[in-house]
Amino acid sequence: MERIYINRECCIAYTVLALHSIYHSANKERTIEDVVKEIRTMFDIYTDEIFLIKTKDNILKEEGDKRITFCINKEKQK
């Protein structure tokens, strides 16, 4: 497995961009695995740290007050 070292701000930015992508997706029912795949996709798309941080800041400025609700289906956990 390849190790990639990034700073915390970039980790937050990748997660914000992934959640933003999922939030604006037509498919609202996603699994944790889907979120992880989306974060990995953001690693491939946003390779420039400065652009990454600016994009995250713009998303938070425009949509920072939106709420995301996670619902865990307890029947699937059994």
Average pLDDT over residues 53-69: 88
Whether residue 16 contacts residue 35, with contact meaning beta carbons closer than 8 Å, is answered with no
**pLDDT at 72 exceeding the cut of 70:** no
Whether residue 40 contacts residue 18, with contact meaning beta carbons closer than 8 Å, is answered with no
**pLDDT at 61 exceeding the cut of 70:** yes
Domain map of the chain by residue range?
12-77
Average pLDDT over residues 47-73: 86
Confidence bin at 7 (pLDDT 50/70/90): confident
Render pLDDT for 15-59 as a digit per residue (tens, 0 to 9).
Answer: 898 888 888 888 777 788 888 898 889 888 988 989 999 999 999
Residue holding tokens 């990639």? 4
Whether residue 39 contacts residue 14, with contact meaning beta carbons closer than 8 Å, is answered with yes
